[in-house]
Structure 1
Amino acid sequence: MTSTRSTFSLLVTGSNGLLGQKITDLALQDGQIDLIATSRGENRHPVSTGYRYIDLDILDKQRLREVITQERPDVIVNTAAMTHVDVCEQDPAGCRRLNVDTVEELVALCEELGIHFIHLSTDFIFDGQHGPYAEDDEPNPLSLYGQSKLDAEHLIRQSSCKWTILRTILVYGVVADMSRSNIVLWAKGALEKGQPLNVVNDQWRMPTLAEDLAQACLLAAAKGVEGVFHISGEDFFAIDELVAAVADYWQLDKSLIKQISSTTLSQAAPRPARTGFHLDKARKILGYAPHSFQEGLAVVDRQLRAKDAKDKN
C-alpha cells in the first residue's frame, strides 16, 4: 500500500475481531506501520511477531488511559463495539457503555494527546427508506444499536481531535480464529449440512469484504483524511439473493433457501429495509477500490482452503 505518511504508529482496539485481524494482516504486509494491537484476553492472531499485542479491556477506563498515554500512537482505529443488534436492544446499558461511553473516553484521549481517531460506524444509523445513502444523508436509526452508533458519531464530530468516521455494511470474511460467524460463512455452512434456511427477501444490503474495510482503515490512516466515508462492497442484494449467490458460488442446493418476509421474524430490534452506500467519495479521496462480491467469495474460498490444509497438517 502506498502511504502518504511513510511510517506511523497505529493502535487498534478490538484486534481479535474479524476486522481487527485483517488490519493486522495488512499492517504486517505493509511493513511501514508500527502496529499496537489491543483486545480483551489472549491474542487470537496466528502471527505474533512484527507488532505488539496488549491485553486491553477498553471498558476499564483507567487501563485504557494507561495504555494510550504509554503508547501515544499517531492513529487509533476503534473497531471494538457491541454489534449484535438484538443484544443491544436487550442490554441498552451495556450497549451504551461500549458503543458510546468508551468512544467518549477515546475521543478525550485523542484530543489530549493529538491522536488521529478513526471510528467504525454502520448503515444502521439510517432507517432504510431511501437507500443507497450518501455521507450527508439524514440519519434516522430504528434500533438502539443504530442510535448508539449515531450518538458516538455526534460525540466524534463535536470533538477537537482529528477524526474520521468509516460507515460500513454487513462485513464478511474468514480468519484463523473466528469468535463469531458472518452471513457468508453461516449460509455456506448451513447449506453444506443440507439445512433449510429461512432468508428475508425484503431487506437490501451491500456486503463488505473484511479485507476491503481493513484497507479503507489503513488508507484513512496513511492519508490522514478527515470526515465521514461510506465503505462497503459495490454489489446491491436482497438478503435472499445474497444467500443464493453464496449457494451458486459453492454449487450448493438453492432449493433449501426459503424466502420469507422480515415481518414474520420475532426480532427484538427492527432492521432498516434498504440501505446500501454511494461509494464515490471513498473512491475519489481514499482511493478505495472494493472487490466485487464474486471476487470476495473467491478470497474467502482461498482462505478456507488454506485453513483446512493447515488444520489437517
Structure 2
Amino acid sequence: MIRLLVTGGKGMLGRALAEHVASLSGATFSAPGRDELDVRDADALLNAASQARGGWIAHCAATVDVEGCAREPDAAREIIVEGTRNVVRAARAAGARLFYPQSFLVYDGASNPIPEDETPQPLSLYGKLKLEAEQVIRAEMDDALIVRMAGFFGGEEIDKNFVGRIIPAMAAAMERGETRFDIGDRVWQPTWTRDLAENSIQMMLADKRGIYQMACHGQASFAELAQEIVAALGWEDRLRIERVEAASVSGNELGKRPDIAVLSCTRLREDRLDLQRDWRATIHAYLRHPYFDRYRLKGA
C-alpha cells in the first residue's frame, strides 16, 4: 500500500514512477504535469499534498536542462530551489514523507567511483541549484529519502537526455548519407528510468531515509552507448561510431559536466535493495519499444 503524489509527473522519471505505482495493488497516486501543478505555486501545492497525506511526495519537478539553467539562472532558481522549498512546506503540512531524486551532477568527478560520503562539488549552475535544493530538504526534514541518481534514459518521445537526442541525430546523419558519427568519450552510467522507478518505490515501501546513490550495473562512455544503440537498431552496416575526446564535441556546452562520473551504490547493496541491471541489457530492452520502430531497420 502506498499513497503518492508525484510532482513533474509527466517528465521522464515522474512518468516512470506513476507507471510503476499504477501496477501495484492498493496504491493511490496522482502524477500531475507542470501544466496541472506548478511547484512555484505554494497554495496549489498545499492543496495537492492532501492527496499524499500519510504517504509520500516524490519531488521530480525541476528544470533539467543544464544549458537552459545557465541561460536563465533566475528562472532555474525559482523552480529548482524555491519550488523545492514549497514542496517541503506542503509535505510537512500533509504529514507526508519526501522522496527527492538527486542528480549525479552535484559531483565534479574528481574521484571515481564516487563514494556516498563524497562532498558534492558541482561544476554547473544546474548542479549547484540541485545541491541547494537538497540542502533545503535536509535542513527541514530528517526523514526525507534522497537518492542521487546516475544519468538516465527513458520515456520514449519525452527523453531529452543523451539517448533521446542522439538517436534522431544519428538517423538524420544517415539520411544525409553520412557513414561516420563522432561521439565523445565522457564516461557515465546509463540507467533506465523504469529500473530507477521500481527501485525507488521499493525503498519507500521499505521506509528508507537519508542519502543513497543509485545507478545501473557497469559503466560506459557515450561512444560505447551509441555503438550499442547502433547494434540494437540494426544500423551496423550503415553507421560507424568514432570515439573522440569529449571536449571536441562538447565545446559549446554552457554547463560543465564531469568527464567521468561513476556512483558507488554501497548503501543500496548493503540494504539488499539494489534492483538495478546491466546497462547493456536495459538499453536493448528499452529500444524494443514500438516507439523505436520508426528508426529500426527490418530484422533488428
TM-score, length-normalised on structure 1? Answer: 0.84
Amino acid at match of 1:12: V
CA 1:65/1:161 → structure 2, altered by over 3 Å: closer, same or farther?
farther
Q: Give me the whole-angstrom Cα distance separating, in 1, the residues matched to 2:43 and 2:154.
A: 33
Structure 1 stretch 90-99 or stretch 295-304: which is displaced more? 295-304
Instruction: Indicate the residue corresponding to 1:181 in structure 2.
Output: 160
Q: Give me the whole-angstrom Cα distance separating, in 2, the residues matched to 1:287 and 1:262.
A: 37
Deviation by residue 1:110-153 (Cα, 9 ceiling, x = unmatched): 23332110001111111111122122111111110000111111
Instruction: Indicate the residue corresponding to 1:211 in structure 2.
Output: 194
- Is it true that 1:283 corresponds to 2:269 in the alignment? yes
Whether the aligned pair in 1 keeps the contact of 2:102 and 2:149 (CA below 8 Å) is: yes
RMSD: 2.1
Deviation by residue 1:53-86 (Cα, 9 ceiling, x = unmatched): xx21222122112221465251000111111111
Instruction: Indicate the residue corresponding to 1:261 in structure 2.
Output: 246
Alignment of 1:41-120 (within 5 A): 41=35, 55-69=36-50, 72=53, 74-120=55-101
- Is it true that 1:245 corresponds to 2:228 in the alignment? yes
Q: CA deviation at 1:249?
A: 2.8
Alignment of 1:133-212 (within 5 A): 133-175=114-156, 178-193=157-172, 194=174, 197-201=181-185, 203-212=186-195
Whether the aligned pair in 1 keeps the contact of 2:55 and 2:96 (CA below 8 Å) is: yes
Q: Give me the whole-angstrom Cα distance separating, in 2, the residues matched to 1:152 and 1:250.
A: 39
Instruction: Indicate the residue corresponding to 1:52 in structure 2.
Output: none
3-state SS in 1 of match to 2:100 = strand
Amino acid at match of 1:139: P
CA 1:20/1:261 → structure 2, altered by over 3 Å: closer, same or farther?
closer
Q: CA deviation at 1:223?
A: 1.0
3-state SS in 2 of match to 1:27 = helix
Q: CA deviation at 1:170?
A: 1.6
TM-score, length-normalised on structure 2? Answer: 0.87
Q: Give me the whole-angstrom Cα distance separating, in 2, the residues matched to 1:282 and 1:159.
A: 24
Amino acid at match of 1:18: M
% same residue: 22
Alignment match of 2:23 (pick from 25, 29, 35): 29
Amino acid at match of 1:273: D
Amino acid at match of 1:163: A
Q: Give me the whole-angstrom Cα distance separating, in 1, the residues matched to 2:247 and 2:102.
A: 23
Whether the aligned pair in 2 keeps the contact of 1:132 and 1:274 (CA below 8 Å) is: no
Instruction: List alignment gaps of at least 5 residues for structure 1.
Output: 1-6, 42-54, 309-313
Deviation by residue 1:148-178 (Cα, 9 ceiling, x = unmatched): 1111111111123520111112211234xx3
CA 1:68/1:166 → structure 2, altered by over 3 Å: closer, same or farther?
same
3-state SS in 1 of match to 2:58 = strand
- Is it true that 1:293 corresponds to 2:279 in the alignment? yes
Structure 1 stretch 88-97 or stretch 166-175: which is displaced more? 166-175
Q: CA deviation at 1:305?
A: 5.7
Alignment match of 1:9 (pick from 3, 6, 20): 3
- Is it true that 1:222 corresponds to 2:205 in the alignment? yes
Whether the aligned pair in 1 keeps the contact of 2:6 and 2:14 (CA below 8 Å) is: yes
Instruction: Indicate the residue corresponding to 2:298 in structure 1.
Output: none
Q: Give me the whole-angstrom Cα distance separating, in 1, the residues matched to 2:51 and 2:60.
A: 20
3-state SS in 2 of match to 1:39 = coil
CA 1:107/1:200 → structure 2, altered by over 3 Å: closer, same or farther?
same
3-state SS in 2 of match to 1:198 = strand
CA 1:263/1:127 → structure 2, altered by over 3 Å: closer, same or farther?
farther
